[in-house]
Structure 1
Amino acid sequence: MRKLVIIALFCLGVQVPGLSQSLEEYLRIAAENNPELKAYFNEYLAAMEKVPQVGALPDPELSMGIFIQPMERFMGNQQADIQLMQTFPWFGMLKTQKDEASKMALARYELFRDARNSLFFQVKATWYELYRLEEEIRITEENLEILKQYERLALIRFQSPGTGGGSSSSGMSGNATMSSGNSTSSTSSTGGMGGSMNSGSTSKNSAKSNSSMNSSASMGEGKSGMSDVLRVRIEIKELENTLALLRDSRVPLVAEFNQLLNRNFDERVSPVDLLTDTALPLERLAILDSITQNNPLLKMLDAEEQAYEAQKKIARLEGRPMLGAGVNYIPFSPRIEDGMPMGGNDMVMPMVRLTIPIYRKKYNALQKEAELRQLAVQQRRENTVNQLSTQWSSAMRDLDDANRRTRLYREQTDLAKQTLNLLMTSYATDGKDFEEVLRIQQQLLDYQLSLITAIADQHTTIATLEKLAATEL
């Protein structure tokens, strides 16, 4: 019955409010199936079984001797000698031993709680890592589609170079007309055949010059358009390789997650819910107070200190006498003397036993041992508090860093999108700055991935604080 109550309380303790339904379900599965956690729990149950052992009286001693030939005595012929003895420890010894065993079992339970909290942290951290990976795959796929759109746009501009050269040709034609008009005016003012010849020669030279410039512009635009296509294809190949690596990285991560749940490594994992920015609901010093009050490692050391205090009391009580009470039963048979049966009445004799602990060195050593172990636990607790405080400080620094990065990359993402829109408008108009378009697109991808990493780091750091404080924040 006690085991059933303990397991029921354990299952109730697994419920974690405030988390997504799928993550809460995974935590429950991990608590029920993880073999290491079950080993810690069974060690606690084994320690609990120590309590009734040390709280019981020593077994009674029965000694019996039977004579092969009856011993002739005045009371008759003695057939046997039977003794039954029960030893009793000094007053309070059994209660103190049960208290010491209970404290040691409590220490094992706190160790089990620490193992459970560590398991929950590993499940949460792996879950958030899966979320980060899934988001990176999604964002990379979106950026890959955008680059393919850029490739189609660059191909269109490469295949239609006249769109950029038409305005230049018309401009050039206008300049040629104006030059021709000016030449005619000067000819009419001078008059004669020589002026007409000069005018014709000038018109031919202008037409030849315009034709050469238009040809050079078309060739330049073609080369530029083809280089744009090649550059975007290089970016596409690199992004496809990155995407393949991200998809391959999901396999070992899912296997690690299933290993924590003690399932098949290829078991399907439900999609990760969307994570948003999060903040601490408590003050920083309040979290530190919760850590120093609720951390299982500190509670384990407190239970061990109380157990060693009980051991000191046990050492003192062992230096007291032990009492024994019993009975001695001697059966007699009648002895025949001068034809008459003599005696034969059985004898019952109460007995008392008392141990005399005169060798005090071992009892003093037992008490000194318990005192030194208690001092060691106190020093270990002080060191553990320092370590937990350091971990709390590091977690707070990591959380502040994650919050700053979240704000930064959210702002950088918005600015990059605005810059990219302006550059795309410019490129659609005059076909310039395509290399800058690709650079800003890569920056935008980096900012989006960094934002996802920062959000995942936020939740992982809060999970670290929950592990240290042994409570849901």
Structure 2
Amino acid sequence: MKKLLTLAILWASVGHFALSQNLDEYLVRAAENNPELKAYYNEYLAATEIGNQVSLPNPELQVGFYFRPMERFMGNQQADIRLMQMFPWFGMLKAQESEADQMALARYQLFLDAKNNLFFQVKTTWYALAELEQEIRITEENLEILRKYERMALIRFENSSSSAEGPSSTPMAPSSSSSVSAGSAGMNTMGNQTQGMSSQANSSAMTSPAAMGSTGPGMTDVLRIRLQINTLDNELDLLNANKIPLQVELNKLMNSPREAQLSNPEPLLPFVMNLEKQAILDSISANNPMLAMYDAELLALESQKQMAKLDGRPMLGAGVNYMPFQPRIEDGMSMGGKDMIMPMVTVTLPIYRKKTTAKIKETELRQEAVQFNKENTLNQLEIEWAKAFRDLEDANRKVRLYEQQLDLANQNLSLLLTAYATSGQDFEEVLRAQQLILDYEFSKIGAITRQYTSLAMLDMLSATGIQPYSK
């Protein structure tokens, strides 16, 4: 059964867009092992067996024996055996087979809809994990930057408070972090000044301000940095904790142990797509499994309506009556004893039309109900289609916005770092600029994740497979 399910999944997933080998692997594992999906597939297989149950009514065999032979002119009758086969009106069996096939097709469409929903859950969970991984990476990079800021502020404070040396400006060494890449130019201009610092200065940079026994104005910069470091450390712990429920969810969607090892998601890259809204909507109307299920139910009800009409027609029966006789002695002569075979024909008389009329009316009302359900489902799908496109377009705009904001914020940080290196002032503005970059990085990652989630929603609704491509 697992092989049949896998073949059905692969056939039903033609056109699915691939983002990574790991995601494709998890989709296949979820399709093969998810209990809910297996239940839907078994219900479909059970429905296919209904068509095999369509057949003629079972023949009827009646056998009667006489305890005392019945005396007749033909002899003594010992038994009466009748065999009868009833036949429904012409077209009834075909209508029953059609109804069973359409109901099985409706079950298969339910299975496909469950498969699409399962794939959507796997994708969104995977994207959420990828978003968390990128947020953790950026947070760790920003923590490293803040620690460099801390060392820079401590060195500046130590130099400014030393009686042996005059005021000096000691800038921070350049950072390789992507979040301040645009500001690296200003930092590189100061890099040569820090190369000559002794190891004693580096070790004193980590000295506690309390141990140094000073409360000079420069220590406020160090304390501000440490406040942000503590905050980021706490946020990093929270991000790592948030991975656990997502990993459990993904494993359970694949029916795997909750502690099963998962591959690290690849970073999500922004993509550009030119999607025709009307084309996607037309694809939803043509390919969505729920709409196809209602179409199959309508055809099944049409067959039921035909069956109700044919049920009001007579049923024909053909059979044979066999009567064995035993010879009887009368006046010393053998009388009779020849068995008799009598062909028989039976016809039912459907004179009670109220039952037939009610069945036809019931089927017509059910057809109207299914039609209304299909119309309502199409309306809901259009609403989801509009929301998904709105979210996708909004995410596209946000990605462009945050990319522009990051460029400007990095330029601003570079200028602030240069100003602080020369004057030692506005360090609080440097920290604010660094936090602003972190916020924009997080917002950009969230917008990219919404791009993929919205695209996954459109793919689930249209059931066609939409291939994104990166910038």
Range of TM-score over shorter length: 0.7 to 0.9
Q: Deviations over 1:137-177 (max 9, x none)?
A: 111010011111111111101111168997789xxxxxxxx
Number of the residue aligned with 2:368: 375
Number of the residue aligned with 1:105: 104
Q: Which runs of 5+ in 1 are unaligned?
A: 170-220
Structure 1 residue ranges (4+ consecutive) displaced by more than 4 angstroms after TM superposition: 2-7, 162-169
Residue identity matched to 2:120: F
Q: CA deviation at 1:282?
A: 3.2
Residue identity matched to 2:309: R
Q: Deviations over 1:254-287 (max 9, x none)?
A: 0001110000011111111222112335311110
Q: CA 1:6/1:444 → structure 2, altered by over 3 Å: closer, same or farther?
A: closer
Q: Which runs of 5+ in 2 are unaligned?
A: 169-213, 467-471
Q: CA deviation at 1:310?
A: 1.2
Number of the residue aligned with 2:120: 121
Q: Deviations over 1:49-72 (max 9, x none)?
A: 111213x11111111111222222
Match of 1:326, SS?
A: strand
Are 1:250 and 2:243 counterparts?
Answer: yes
Out of 305, 315, 328, the residue aligned to residue 335 of structure 1 is 328
Q: CA 1:223/1:168 → structure 2, altered by over 3 Å: closer, same or farther?
A: closer
Are 1:398 and 2:398 counterparts?
Answer: no
Number of the residue aligned with 1:233: 226
Q: CA deviation at 1:249?
A: 0.8
Q: How does 1:7-46 map to 2 (within 5 A)?
A: 8-14=7-13, 16-46=16-46
The separation in 2 between residues aligned to 1:3 and 1:339, in whole angstroms, is: 79
Match of 2:67, SS?
A: strand
Match of 2:53, SS?
A: helix
Q: How does 1:68-467 map to 2 (within 5 A)?
A: 68-161=67-160, 223-467=216-460
- Contact 2:160/2:167 (<8 A) preserved: no
- Contact 1:311/1:370 (<8 A) preserved: yes
Q: CA 1:94/1:462 → structure 2, altered by over 3 Å: closer, same or farther?
A: same
Q: CA deviation at 1:418?
A: 1.2
Q: CA 1:415/1:361 → structure 2, altered by over 3 Å: closer, same or farther?
A: same
The separation in 1 between residues aligned to 2:91 and 2:246, in whole angstroms, is: 56
Q: CA 1:158/1:3 → structure 2, altered by over 3 Å: closer, same or farther?
A: closer
Match of 1:288, SS?
A: helix
Q: Deviations over 1:202-227 (max 9, x none)?
A: xxxxxxxxxxxxxxxxxxx9622111
Match of 1:268, SS?
A: coil
Residue identity matched to 2:106: A
Q: CA deviation at 1:105?
A: 1.0
Residue identity matched to 1:96: A
Q: CA 1:422/1:325 → structure 2, altered by over 3 Å: closer, same or farther?
A: same
The separation in 1 between residues aligned to 2:414 and 2:396, in whole angstroms, is: 28
The separation in 1 between residues aligned to 2:417 and 2:69, in whole angstroms, is: 121
Q: CA 1:112/1:164 → structure 2, altered by over 3 Å: closer, same or farther?
A: farther
Q: Deviations over 1:72-127 (max 9, x none)?
A: 22211111111110000000110011111111111111111101000000000000
Q: CA 1:167/1:158 → structure 2, altered by over 3 Å: closer, same or farther?
A: closer
- Contact 1:164/1:430 (<8 A) preserved: no
Residue identity matched to 1:36: E
160-169 vs 414-423, greater mean Cα deviation: 160-169
The separation in 1 between residues aligned to 2:333 and 2:163, in whole angstroms, is: 149
The separation in 2 between residues aligned to 1:464 and 1:123, in whole angstroms, is: 12
Number of the residue aligned with 1:214: none
Number of the residue aligned with 1:185: none
Larger radius of gyration: 1
Paired residue total: 420
Q: CA 1:165/1:446 → structure 2, altered by over 3 Å: closer, same or farther?
A: farther
Match of 1:97, SS?
A: helix
The separation in 1 between residues aligned to 2:373 and 2:303, in whole angstroms, is: 19
Residue identity matched to 2:47: A
- Contact 2:2/2:32 (<8 A) preserved: no
The separation in 2 between residues aligned to 1:83 and 1:450, in whole angstroms, is: 85
- Contact 1:125/1:460 (<8 A) preserved: yes
Q: CA deviation at 1:31?
A: 0.6
Number of the residue aligned with 1:48: 48
Match of 2:216, SS?
A: helix
The separation in 1 between residues aligned to 2:30 and 2:167, in whole angstroms, is: 71
Q: Deviations over 1:404-423 (max 9, x none)?
A: 11111111111111111111
Q: Give the TM-score of the pair, scaled to structure 1.
A: 0.85
Q: CA deviation at 1:21?
A: 1.1
- Contact 1:61/1:86 (<8 A) preserved: yes
- Contact 2:131/2:268 (<8 A) preserved: no
Q: Deviations over 1:173-204 (max 9, x none)?
A: xxxxxxxxxxxxxxxxxxxxxxxxxxxxxxxx
Q: CA 1:4/1:331 → structure 2, altered by over 3 Å: closer, same or farther?
A: farther
Q: Give the TM-score of the pair, scaled to structure 2.
A: 0.86
- Contact 1:328/1:350 (<8 A) preserved: yes
Match of 1:161, SS?
A: helix
Identity %: 59
- Contact 1:62/1:83 (<8 A) preserved: yes
Residue identity matched to 2:440: Y
Residue identity matched to 2:351: I
Q: CA RMSD in A?
A: 2.0
Match of 1:80, SS?
A: strand
Q: Deviations over 1:206-252 (max 9, x none)?
A: xxxxxxxxxxxxxxx96221111111001000100000011011111
Q: CA deviation at 1:312?
A: 1.2
The structure with the greater share of residues assigned to helix is 1
Match of 1:223, SS?
A: coil
